[in-house]
Amino acid sequence: MSLINLHLVLNNQANPEQAKTLLRFFKTGKGEYGEGDKFLGIKVPVSRKIAKQFKDLSFDEIQGLLNSFIHEERLIALFILTEQFRKADAARKKIIYNFYLKNTKRVSNWDLVDLSAERIIGVYLLERDKRILFTLARSKNLWERRIAIMSTFYFIKNGIYNTTFEISDKLLKDKHDLIHKAVGWMLREIGNRDLTVEESYLKKHYKTMPRTMLRYAIENFPEKKDYLI
Residue 18: phi, psi to the nearest 5? -65, -35
CA distance 147 to 178: 11
Can you give the pLDDT at residue 79? 98
Tens digit of each residue's pLDDT (9 = 90 or more) over 26-84: 888 888 898 889 999 999 999 999 999 999 999 999 999 999 999 999 999 999 999 99
Q: Residue 78 burial by CB count (10 A; 0-12/13-18/19+): exposed, middle or buried? A: buried
pLDDT at 140 over 90: yes
